[in-house]
Amino acid sequence: MSKVKVYSTPTCPYCHMLKEFLKEKKIEYEEINVAEDIEAAKQMVEKSGQMGVPQLEINGKIIVGFDQPAIEKELENMK
């Protein structure tokens, strides 16, 4: 199965919304707390050019923010 990564922080409300959305869809994901993992935060910015969270990586494609239509489209491509 494809790999899904969620770059987030504990205080971000959209991060919580994104993780709940993925749980409802029964999508397994790896959560990366960029508030604690500085190296992961640097990698996130290198990949996307953005510092904001949440960021979602699905099959190497980066989606910045809780963009539900874009997320659903990429999840469909995973199947």
- Residue 79 within any structural domain of the chain: no
- Residue 64 within any structural domain of the chain: no
Q: How many distinct structural domains can be found in the chain? A: 1
Q: Closest Cα to residue 52, out of 18, 27, 2? A: 18
Compute CA 61 distance to the chain's CA centroid, rounded to the nearest angstrom: 10
Residue 13 has pLDDT above 90, yes or no: yes
- Residue 65 within any structural domain of the chain: no
- What is d(CA 48, CA 28) in angstroms, rounded to the nearest whole number? 22
What digits encode the pLDDT tens for the residues 40-53?
A: 999 999 999 999 99
- Residue 23 within any structural domain of the chain: yes
Q: Which residues have a Cβ under 8 Å from the Cβ of 28 and sit 6 or more positions away?
A: 1, 4
The CATH number of the domain holding residue 39 is: 3.40.30.10
Residue percentage of the chain with pLDDT more than 90: 90
- Residue 26 within any structural domain of the chain: yes
Structure tokens at 31: 């959560």
Q: Please work out, in degrees rounded to the nearest 5, the angle formed at the alpha carbon of residue 48 by the alpha carbons of 32 and 73.
A: 80
**Mean pLDDT score of the chain:** 94
Residue range(s) defining the domain that contains residue 18: 1-55
Please state the pTM of the whole predicted model: 0.92
- Residue 38 within any structural domain of the chain: yes
